[in-house]
Amino acid sequence: MNTRNDIRNVAIIAHVDHGKTTLVDALLKQSGIFRENQHVQERVMDSNDLERERGITILSKNTAIDYKGTKINIVDTPGHADFGGEVERVLKMVNGVILVVDAFEGPMPQTKFVLKKALELSLPVLVCVNKVDRPEARPVEVVDEVLELLLELDESERYLESPFIFASAIGGWASTDINEKKDTMEDMYEAILEHIPAPQGELDGPVQLLITTIDYNEYVGRIGVGKVERGTVKVNQDVMLLNHLEPEKKHKVRIGKLYEYNGLARVEVTEAKMGSIIALSGIEQIHIGDTLTDLEVQETIEFVKISEPTIAMNFSVNDSPFAGQEGKFITSRQLRDRLMKELNTNISLRVEEMDTADTFKVSGRGELHLSILMETMRREGYELQVSKPEVLFKRDENGKLLEPMERAVIDVPEDFMGPVMEKMGTRKGEMINMQQSKGGYVRLDFSIPTRGLIGYRSEFLTDTKGNGILNTIFDGYQPYKGDIIARSQGSLVAFEDGVAVAYGLFNAQDRGILFIDPGQKVYQGMVIGSNSRSGDIDVNVCKRKQATNMRASGSDESLRLSPPKRMSLEEILEFIDEDELVEITPKSMRIRKKVLDKTQRARITAKNKK
């Protein structure tokens, strides 16, 4: 068994917004990877527009820095539970993890999720308490909380000796001493070399490597990313492609190009030895979980079974009266190709073809997982329609109905506890724990069905006046918890095709909350607002005031209209009912009835009441 002391492979894991990506920025900048005069944007690892806007990491990324002749490969993992499929794979590539924890918030539910996966693989943990320069930081207490968490997840006590580093990623420094502020990240680099083990394996053995991530490039096609477990892999080498979970998969393939990481760039190399994290191209049929082996010694590497989806939605071709006006890609073939392409890299996603050619059932790990796919597609120029998210149930061996559950941890000021507890109760949430936090906050811990959370986030923000923090994590399947009361308000539905005018909207706003402005085009069956009562109401927002004299016809301008309610994609998905769809185009998001014609809708409603 050989040890490669010139390499360290480490994953950075943390909860959303605890500064993980900023920490990588600081490590990169001080490693001399960028030229002195080179402009480097903040959170350089979050390259995707959506990641920058939401401040979350969606895709795992690789980077490498050189410190004192040792190459440190750093893999940035998503902190959000909806991207759990990404996390599990990434941990197969590394020999240790850096756990980043906010010095004020302490360990959060999603920290727990990723950390549990790392401990199951017996990976050493280097703890980085970040943001110690925050005014309300409490690093001493956070250290105790992390140790408690390590003991809770692994009772063997072996992790209680884990080393701690105290840092300010945004300030660009790290220190082994809780009371000493340093000038650089030096202590962090040293801790990685000391506490993260070097990769071990046979340098001269038959080649073997596991593909843990797939990238895609228009020019070279599919790119496999993984770690060389044994031997040396070379350009133009013939290898056998196998998969542990698919014994029948067996192809002789040739490696095209090989790349290693340097900073944020992929650098072409001719060979890579055991322990290296590499990317390779030229193998079209390569998939996540595949093992590339020597032609003679064919041994697969075990691979984590990816977590099953918990939520499904129907994606279909846009067939509204405004279809094709704003998007480039509008046909069912284009929609199908795009969803199939997404399966190349999005491992937790499932796509099933339905009875009709223009509808696909898309299942994912949660609402955020699916809404990010929709948002990405609309930015690429796609038009589509989606249905209300539905939870995927299971049955146990006795035929009993099981449903996915979530653990919801809520930090909320004491004044807003009442409405939160009341709402969680009506949504079948069960309180597990409640503890006092700092600064007048209370931490509430609930077990709640996944379907109980659909539609809750926007209500939660309103109920807590934006002061509450809600974090959720998948918590397995449990017996069905009973019916949950659906949305109580009906919709305001446009009566005819046309352009909304102030007079029509003024009359409609007495009935509820509007979603549109004057001058906006509408069509019959489009939802233009939310009714203040239950049941839908058809409203004529295109109706102008009858002009009986010159002054009266011009007085539209004096009508006082309330500003319309603007909703994000997640809020719209939470709002829509079973008989509604969301029309998504590059420029607009509209809510519409599945059946646009008013008379037909009335017939269906009457039939359902019988």
Is position 57 annotated in a ligand binding site?
no
Is position 131 annotated in a ligand binding site?
yes
Is position 337 annotated in a ligand binding site?
no
pLDDT value, residue 558: 64
In contact, 505 and 544? CB cutoff 8 Å: no
List the Cα angle 501/506/512 in 5-degree steps: 120
Is position 19 annotated in a ligand binding site?
yes
Return d(Cα 12, Cα 24) in angstroms, integer. Answer: 8
Domains and CATH numbers, the chain: 2-200 (3.40.50.300), 202-293 (2.40.30.10), 394-479 (3.30.70.240), 491-609 (2.40.50.250)
| 16 closest CA partner among 56, 44, 46 | 56
Strands 384-386 and 311-316: antiparallel
In contact, 587 and 575? CB cutoff 8 Å: no
Is position 369 annotated in a ligand binding site?
no
What residue type is 505 in one-letter code? Answer: L
Is position 22 annotated in a ligand binding site?
yes
Beta partners for residue 256, in sequence order: none
Is position 17 annotated in a ligand binding site?
yes
pLDDT value, residue 610: 66
Inter-CA distances, 297 with 239, 241, 390, 423, 554, Å: 10, 12, 46, 59, 85
Is position 132 annotated in a ligand binding site?
yes
Is position 21 annotated in a ligand binding site?
yes
**Structure tokens belonging to residue 592:** 């519409």
Mean pLDDT by 10 residues, the chain (610 residues): 87 70 78 46 40 36 82 72 57 87 78 78 90 85 89 82 88 86 87 90 87 75 85 88 82 86 82 89 81 84 74 93 92 92 79 90 84 87 93 89 88 87 90 79 88 78 79 83 80 92 90 92 94 89 70 58 85 86 94 92 80
User: What is the sign of the dihedral through the CA atoms of 305, 391, 455 and 476?
Assistant: negative
